[in-house]
Amino acid sequence: MHPVQKHLFDTNFRDLSGTKLEGTIALSDELINLGILDFLQQLQKPDTDTPKAKSEAPAASSAMPNPADLLKMVTIEEVKYRTEAGRTMVDIKAGIK
């Protein structure tokens, strides 16, 4: 893992607090298909009210953070979805709390 990435994970992205982001992301067909597949798989999951068994693997400090926790730190100001010349584009303006 890159040292900067490890530092961000270890500090829970505190260094990025107040950061603003604005840009355009080109989405590949593969990424869109993965998103659709993930959505369909969630529709097939059994009721989530039952408690889940915890993994027996120890948590490592370099483990990937939970994406849901990261999204809680992001404030989305604007998202525009468009297609252009056969490509799917997402314009985004966001900030980190």
Please name the amino acid found at residue 6: K
**Of 70, 68, 79, 78, residue with least CA distance to 97:** 70
Note the pLDDT tens digit of each residue in 25-81: 999 888 888 989 988 998 887 765 555 555 554 455 557 788 888 888 999 999 999
- Inform me whether the pLDDT recorded for 92 exceeds 90: yes
What's the rounded mean pLDDT across residues 78-90? 90
Confirm whether pTM is higher than 0.95: no
Residue 54's pLDDT is what?
52
CA distance 36 to 42: 10
Please name the amino acid found at residue 47: D
What's the rounded mean pLDDT across residues 4-28? 91
Place of tokens 């950061």: 19
Q: Which residues pair with 26 in a beta bridge?
A: 89
Contact 32, 88 (CB under 8 A): yes
Contact 89, 82 (CB under 8 A): yes
